[in-house]
Structure formats: structure tokens, C-alpha cells
Structure 1
């Protein structure tokens, strides 16, 4: 057997997993908690499934090293000072709910260093990947939050604290009996409105047609938002939202992606 036949190739090395840990040992000491809000808040129907997944060695190392500096758990027990969190009291901060593996988030952060991105997800591999991307690209304007975005909005952010809100490709919960789990409901929209400053954009995108229709109906009915489109319909994809690999694959299959961009009004 040749020497090269036993050496892992670059792909295998990149995707090898972290060594096993002893029972009871924290998965990532000092990293994201498994259930940060615990029993502090009410049990309710959630719009997300906790997804831990397989974490590569690189992602795990990023979580261990960078979480204390750039990560936070959504425990619902204290009010966040976004100026302190980002190290700049004048930095406008946009909240992104659900960032997947973080590639698009990193691209947006690199393209707009004058805006902070507070990116929320419960996907551990994605959290580690985004932290690694932020370090690699020197993105000091990214912070990663772990947990329930509803608790973050309701309990941990001050009124009018946000300069924008992005919800890209949330779980569509396609079965009718699961529609109540969709994030974009009237209650969520009005909660978000209290945390957005006047003029801030609420930007959603989905490739699930029935969910796009629901989003448009809910946002149009809200007294707190105005559609940026004069015809009251969907918006073209703005240049600042990157075309992701997932989205490109969907477009190749004939999926139609709808963007909805609404502006927080003065009401």
C-alpha cells in the first residue's frame, strides 16, 4: 500500500469530526449552551427544531476559542447593550434570524462593515462555521446568538434597538397542521415592530410559495409596516442579499424565490 493511500485528503480532513467526550462533559466548554433559556420562560410552540448536528474539528475549535468573545446565549435573563456587545455605541445593528452555515451572513458583513449583524440560530455546526468565517475574514461586525429569537426580541432587546431585521428562508412548515409553527405570524411581526427603529427594514425571503403568500398577507395587514413596493407586492432580490448555494440549487429546479421588504413606519 502506498503512503498516499493512507493519508486523508483535504476533503476528509475538513469534515472529520471531533473526538468523543465523556458522559456529562460539556460539548464545547465555554461555548453555546444546549438550552440557554431553560425553564425561565414559558413552554410554547416553537418555529424551529433544535439542530445540533455533526460538528467538524474546525467548527468545534472555533466554538471553543471564539464563543466567549463573539457568541452569546439567549437566556432571557438580562437586557443586551448592543453598543457594548459590538464595541461601538454608534454602530447600527441588524438582527438576522436563521443563518444556516453562515456563508451569506459573512458576505453581507464583509460588504457592509459599518453595520453590525447579530445572527441567531440553533444549528451548532453553523454557529461554529460562521465564527470561523468571521475570524478568517476579519469580520468584527458579526456576533452569533444561540437560542430562541422570540425570547431575544421580547426579553433582551430594548425598544427601537434594531436598524433592521432579516429572515431568510425560514422553515416553511409545509403541512397544514404545522402552519401554526411558522415564524411570520401577526404576533411576531408586532413584537418585531417594537424593537425596530422607524425607517428600519424587515426583509424576508422564501422559496415556498404558500408561505410567501402568508408573509405578504401578514405584513400587509400590520399597521406598523409599509411595503416598499408601490404595487404592494414582492420585491426584487436586493444586491445586499447574496445568492446562496441553496438558493441557486432551488432556482435550477424551477423554484421561485420571493423577497418581501417592508419598512417600519412612524405609527
Structure 2
């Protein structure tokens, strides 16, 4: 993909910083151009979910892990919104380019597979982080949740955006039409998100489901966000960090391999 001279050396050095930044900037401008749909929409959805649970269950539900139920679910909703938006940004960008036939405009410039990966991940992370930070500020102002461990919160927020951004790249490469992408979202992303402990502590689950929850990487993202904001969690944040780093590296490595091969991107 990258242009080389007669000696086989890249004209842009070891890393095409300008090209990578341009791709990342394009991905950010892409979602900001329709901010009412990509930013305001998720914020409103998260607010409505929090309001519904607060009104319907909050008054009758006791404390969970030593905090009120509304405070307990708020970090989970925040992280769920982050991962859904990061996934949506990378997957929709690649799929739309394939469907519209302009994926060549991304593959032809002098960008290496790693630079393509970084550019797409930067866009997904930016969208997820923007929505997550806004929700975090609203939580701080309206609920007074605060930040028990802000560094841990930022770490899991970043890992959530990168992990689901990488998964979105894989989904965008695999899918050839929007129906296929809807199937991936409905049967993989949504179940993993809702069964990850967002609305409950996994200690309340039967033993079999508790064991299954520990194989869901999104559970560790939710749990990590809860630890960062409230200081309580179902598992050690260090275990969550290790799992999330491993899954993110594996997904990113597979995405890099597919970019390198041009898998389902070159006809």
C-alpha cells in the first residue's frame, strides 16, 4: 500500500505521520458532521435509560455493593455507551466505504496496514471518549458520583474505545451489507453489553452464569469503569486490566493482519 522508491525505501520514512493524522482527522470529522446523531443521540439514550431505571427500580431497590442502585448503574451505562459508539464508528466507516465502492480511496494512499489501523482506531476512540467524558461530567454534576480512581477510569475508558474499535474494524471487514452488520450488532455486541453486569452485580447470578460472565471481556470494562468512579468492583482492576489488554491486542493484531492481506477489502 505504501509508496516506495527504487531502493524499496518508503518516501515518507518509517511512519507516515501526516497520512495517519489525516485519516484520524477524517474519521473524527465524519462523526462530528452528524453530531446530533452520533453524539447527542447516545447521550439522550443513556440519560433516558438512567431515568427509567431510577424511577422504576431505584426507589424500591436497596444498595448494591454499598452504593445506591442509581449510582451503581451509572458507570455501566457510561461504558456501554462508549463501547457501542466506538464499535459503530469503525464498523460503519469501513462498511459504508465498501458498499459505496470508495474503499479504494483509503487503500490507495501511502498508508501502511499499521497506519490504517491506528487511524481508524483513533476515530473510534475519539467518538467513544467524547461521549463517555460528557456522560461522566453529567454524572458528576447531577448524581455527585465523583471519581474514586480517575486514572483507572481513563485507562478503562481508553481500553474500551480501542477494544471495540478494533472489533468494529473486524466487523466492517467481514460484513458486505448493512443487514450483516445489524446481525453482528444484535446477536453479538448487544447481548455481550447487556449481560456484562451493567444493571446488576454478577454476585447475584447463579454460579454457572457467574462463570460465564468472567469470559465476557465487556464485563471487565464495565467493572473497571465502576471501580474508577465508585471505588467498588466485582473483580480486581488488575485482572480486568490484564484481560482487556490481552483482548485488545488480539483483536488489533487480527485487524492488522487482515489489513495487510487486504482480506475482503480488495476485489
Please state which structure has a larger fraction of its residues in helix. Answer: 2
**Which structure carries more relative contact order (alpha carbon 8 Å, separation 6+)?**
2
TM-score of the alignment, normalized to the shorter chain, above 0.5: no
What is the TM-score when the length of structure 1 is the normalising length?
0.30
